[in-house]
């Protein structure tokens, strides 16, 4: 067995079953081993940012890592923006990065680069394999590192000779790390705060946002009068019919600060104290009122659900009946196609157990509130703010959950970053409906321009945020990559196309023309 084969068998022995690949010459032995592996599904993506975004989506849905296969430093660099998003989502992910053979490095051949230096900012764990016999245990260590919950990014750099040289037997399944529990003191302090009569907020994210976590938070809220919020950008949020609802902090500082302006105390569960996405001249960065008391019940990597259960016990709140969301549909609009009519259709026709990948930008911002009382679904957001995450993440979610409909609501600007995703969706026949909100501009930046206090709204300035001239044709792009596509310019057209997409399986794109 060569190093690549033993490494691959070790990965599959440890539950890693999918690899999103974009290989080159230095990865040929890994490609060869993957081609002969029965346990590893290999999915070709036509840009490395699609590989990393897809692995992120997979991990968000299954809380376990997929791997990427990337070509030296440049391949990793192309993957980095979506690795950044995955890191902010606390997703479990393993990068397998080929490199020059150990003895070839010193020649500084064209593709030589500082792969470790490029890996570190987007990885929690980085290692370069030393030799082929060490590769199986390197791979097992990578899986363990990735499985530190909620999830970490483990990057294993594999020089070509480590892959092709003779290795040893693969490693068997390792024990994965246990999730640390919170201290009794953290629970006690939270209990005291929630009993002192002051106005309190529970802010939740990551592992706290499970269906059970939301139920426990609902009981805590009923017992104490605290209000429960989640971060603006969350990795996954279970919501809709039958789930306990949670308020979401707004994106703009003026929205979020208003939402929690009365808070005297904030208790964080699986997250940190909320701050503004950007700084703005003359405005504060913190969302929470100055002088409020902050307490962390559970750090991001701690067992938030267990902490919430202990807090329920502390407050004797376990008998409160859960306030579960009832199904309420908004109805379908007719006439003009606009963000509201699209959000209404998305909510109205949402199938049970759908997965919504939201990179809708400004035109998609109504989809979230409208679907609060839709059928049960999971909502995924752009955790790291690096646009172009939506289409790839939809791939990963669809691969992870083939029985569920994935709905990807996407701005046209963001979609252009990773549009190659459509080809992988077609090739793998993934059940994804993509709604492109074609406003033909970077609308958010036009808003931000005035918010930051910039003065020039002249043609030259606006041209830097305008996507017309020429207009992008998403129908043609989609068809060119094998995904059936149509354009809607009225609400009725959109409703018909969207209903068709919900009633069939496989990838389908709707370009929705909005202002």
Ligand X SMILES: Cc1ncc(C[n+]2csc(CCOP(=O)(O)OP(=O)(O)O)c2C)c(N)n1
Residues at the contact surface with ligand X, assessed by CB under 6 A: 81, 361-363, 385-387, 411-414, 439, 441-445
Coil, helix or strand for 70? strand
Contact 333, 341 (CB under 8 A): yes
CA distance 138 to 156: 8
Least spacing, CB of residue 358 vs ligand X, in Å: 11
Complex with ligand X: residue 319 or 456, whichever CB lies closer: 456
Contact 140, 171 (CB under 8 A): yes
Complex with ligand X: residue 219 or 439, whichever CB lies closer: 439
Q: Which residues have C-beta within 8 Å of that of residue 291, sequence separation ≥ 6?
A: none
Residue 408 token pair: 């990807």
Least spacing, CB of residue 138 vs ligand X, in Å: 31
Least spacing, CB of residue 27 vs ligand X, in Å: 26
Cα dist from 62 to 65, 90, 470, whole Å: 8, 13, 41
Q: Which residues have C-beta within 8 Å of that of residue 56, sequence separation ≥ 6?
A: 82, 85, 86, 89, 91, 93, 389, 392, 393, 396
Complex with ligand X: residue 203 or 510, whichever CB lies closer: 510
β-strands 93-99, 41-44 pairing: unpaired
CA distance 163 to 14: 19
Complex with ligand X: residue 148 or 409, whichever CB lies closer: 409
Distance of CA 233 to the CA centre of its chain: 9
Complex with ligand X: residue 78 or 386, whichever CB lies closer: 386
Least spacing, CB of residue 281 vs ligand X, in Å: 19
Half-sphere exposure of 61 (CA within 13 A, CB side): 28
Complex with ligand X: residue 165 or 358, whichever CB lies closer: 358
Least spacing, CB of residue 447 vs ligand X, in Å: 8
Residue with the closest Cβ to ligand X? 411
Contact 442, 430 (CB under 8 A): no
Cα dist from 470 to 219, 407, 450, 463, whole Å: 54, 28, 26, 12
Contact 411, 358 (CB under 8 A): no
Complex with ligand X: residue 47 or 164, whichever CB lies closer: 47
Dihedral of CA 231/235/187/124: which sign?
Answer: negative
Least spacing, CB of residue 126 vs ligand X, in Å: 23
Complex with ligand X: residue 268 or 366, whichever CB lies closer: 366
Residue 409 token pair: 């609501």
**Integer-rounded Cα radius of gyration of the chain:** 24
Compute the CA torsion angle 238, 53, 278, 410 (nearest 10 deg): -70
Complex with ligand X: residue 202 or 419, whichever CB lies closer: 419
Complex with ligand X: residue 57 or 414, whichever CB lies closer: 414
* Buried/exposed code over 471-498 (b: 16+ C-beta within 10 A; e: otherwise): ebebbebbbebebbbbbbeebebbbebb
The H or E element spanning position 342 is helix 339-348
Helices (H) and strands (E) in the chain, counts: 20, 18
Contact 478, 422 (CB under 8 A): yes
Complex with ligand X: residue 82 or 155, whichever CB lies closer: 82
Coil, helix or strand for 212? helix
Residue 402 token pair: 């083939």
Contact 125, 144 (CB under 8 A): no
Least spacing, CB of residue 483 vs ligand X, in Å: 19
Least spacing, CB of residue 344 vs ligand X, in Å: 18
Least spacing, CB of residue 475 vs ligand X, in Å: 17
Least spacing, CB of residue 202 vs ligand X, in Å: 29
Least spacing, CB of residue 382 vs ligand X, in Å: 8
Least spacing, CB of residue 478 vs ligand X, in Å: 16
Complex with ligand X: residue 81 or 354, whichever CB lies closer: 81
């Amino acid at each position: 067995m060569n190093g690549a084969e033993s490494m691959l068998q070790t990965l599959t022995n440890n539950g890693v079953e999918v690899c999103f690949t974009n290989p080159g010459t230095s990865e040929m032995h890994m490609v060869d081993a993957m081609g002969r592996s029965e346990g590893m599904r290999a999915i070709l993506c036509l840009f490395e940012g699609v590989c990393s975004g897809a692995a992120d989506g997979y991990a968000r849905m299954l809380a376990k890592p997929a791997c990427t296969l990337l070509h030296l430093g440049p391949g990793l660099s192309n993957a980095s923006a979506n690795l950044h998003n995955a890191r902010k989502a606390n997703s479990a992910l393993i990068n397998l990065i080929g490199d020059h053979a150990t003895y070839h490095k010193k020649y500084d051949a064209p593709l030589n680069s500082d792969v470790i230096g490029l890996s570190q900012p987007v990885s929690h764990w980085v290692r370069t394999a030393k030799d082929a016999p060490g590769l199986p245990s390197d791979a097992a260590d990578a899986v363990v590192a990735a499985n530190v919950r909620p999830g970490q990014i483990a990057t294993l750099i594999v020089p070509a000779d480590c892959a092709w040289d003779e290795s040893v037997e693969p490693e068997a399944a390792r024990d994965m790390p246990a999730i640390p529990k919170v201290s009794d003191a953290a629970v006690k302090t939270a209990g005291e705060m929630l009993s002192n009569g002051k106005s309190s907020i529970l802010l939740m994210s990551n592992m706290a946002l499970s269906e059970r976590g939301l139920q426990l938070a609902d009981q805590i809220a009923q017992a104490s009068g605290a209000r429960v919020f989640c971060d603006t950008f969350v990795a996954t949020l279970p919501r809709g019919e039958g789930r306990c609802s949670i308020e979401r902090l707004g994106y703009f500082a003026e929205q979020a600060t208003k939402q929690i302006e009365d808070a005297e105390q904030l208790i964080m569960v699986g997250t940190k104290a909320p701050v503004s996405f950007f700084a703005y001249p003359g405005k504060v960065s913190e969302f929470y009122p100055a002088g409020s008391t902050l307490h962390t019940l559970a750090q991001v990597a701690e067992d938030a659900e267990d902490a919430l259960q202990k807090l329920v016990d502390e407050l004797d709140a376990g008998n409160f009946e859960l306030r579960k969301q009832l199904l309420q549909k908004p109805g379908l609009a007719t006439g003009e196609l606009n963000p509201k009519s699209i959000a209404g259709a998305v909510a109205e026709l949402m199938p049970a157990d759908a997965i919504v990948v939201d990179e809708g930008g400004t035109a998609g911002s109504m989809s979230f509130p409208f679907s609060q009382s839709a059928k049960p679904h999971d909502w995924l957001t752009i955790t790291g703010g690096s646009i172009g995450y939506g289409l790839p993440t939809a791939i990963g979610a669809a691969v992870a959950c083939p029985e569920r409909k994935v709905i990807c609501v996407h701005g046209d600007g963001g979609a252009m970053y990773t549009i190659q995703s459509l080809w992988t969706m077609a090739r793998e026949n993934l059940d994804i409906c993509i709604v492109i909100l074609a406003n033909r501009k970077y609308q958010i930046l036009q808003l931000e321009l005035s918010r930051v206090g910039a003065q020039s709204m002249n043609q030259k300035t606006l041209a830097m945020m305008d996507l017309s001239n020429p207009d992008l044709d998403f129908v043609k792009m989609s068809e060119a990559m094998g995904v059936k596509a149509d354009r809607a310019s009225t609400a009725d057209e959109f409703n018909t196309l969207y209903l068709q997409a919900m009633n069939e399986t496989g990838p389908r794109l709707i370009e929705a023309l909005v202002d």
